[in-house]
Homo-oligomer: A and B are copies of this chain.
Amino acid sequence: MNQSLLNPHILPVPLEKAYRLLNHGPTVLVSSQDDESTDVMAAAWACALEFSPAKVTVVLDKSTKTRSIIEKSGLFALQVPTLKQLKMVYALGIISQYDAPEKLRQCGVELFQFGYSPIPVVEGCSAWILCELIPEPHNQQQHDLFIGKVIAAYADDRVFRDGHWYYHEAADEWKSIHHVAGGHFYTIGDAVDINALKDTD
């Protein structure tokens, strides 16, 4: 199913602007699929690594099923969930599919795919970054650090368009969420523009 055709709000983001989807440091969802399994987990430790070619990092603990799937498939997606999805995001972060095979159903995850991409992604997010793993055994083993080359990026134009977030205009339910610890989150807040400051200050 090609959601980008079904949902007119989901638009491609140029690869060299994909870093902007992560630059404000939101907690993300990591999704992946191999021949046997599909998993989604929450991760606060994801970051942009390079503008062009666009790359990202994400820390994946050895205890996660998502990690073992990515090691096999070599593909994953990072996506930016919204305040509306808070409970789902938290559940995806504390439940392991190793303990709960029905994790995704339990958490209420609905998946789709972009065109012919084999990477499952989560419905209702504000942005999606599809990645090809750049295998780096030292980083993966020593630091649980996975590096992805961005192969496509998309965002919902109700909150990200023309290379910019519009959190300050969209409904609160679209806000990104930023986990601190133990279920304590902050949403993203107000827009502050340095250029506006210069004019008035």
Q: Mark A27-66, 1 if CB is under 8 A from B, else 0.
A: 1000000000000000011111110000101010000000
A95 at the interface (CB under 8 A from B): no
Q: How far is the CA of A48 from the CA of B180 in the complex (A)?
A: 11
- Which residue of chain B lies nearest to A21 when distances are taken between CB atoms in the complex? B180
**Assembly of this chain: how many copies?**
2
Q: Beta-carbon contacts of A161-182 to B below 8 Å, as 1s and 0s?
A: 0011101100000010111110
A121 within 8 A of B: no
Name the interface residues of A77-99: CB closer than 8 Å to any CB of B: 83, 86-87, 90
Contact across chains for A189 and B192 when beta carbons are under 8 A apart: no
Cβ–Cβ contact A186 & B190, under 8 A: yes
A139 at interface (Cβ–Cβ under 8 A)?
yes
Q: How far apart sit A184 and B194, CA to CA, in the bound complex (Å)? A: 6
Check if A195 is an interface residue, CB within 8 A of chain B: yes
CB distance from A141 to the nearest CB of B (A): 13
Interface residues on A, range: 35 or more
Chain B hits for A24, CB < 8 A = 25, 44, 178-180, 186
Instruction: Select the residue from A57, A83, A180 with max chain B CB neighbours within 10 A.
Output: A180
Q: Is A178 a contact of B188 with CB atoms below 8 Å?
A: yes
B143:A55 contact, CB within 8 angstroms: yes
Least CB distance, A123 to chain B, in whole angstroms = 21
Q: Are B47 and A46 in contact (CB under 8 A)?
A: yes
Residues of chain B within 8 A (CB-CB) of A194 are: 86-87, 90, 183-185
Chain B residue at smallest Cβ distance from A89: B194
Residues of A with Cβ closer than 8 Å to B?
17, 19-20, 23-27, 44-50, 55, 57, 59, 83, 86-87, 90, 138-139, 143-145, 147, 163-165, 167-168, 175, 177-181, 183-195, 197, 201
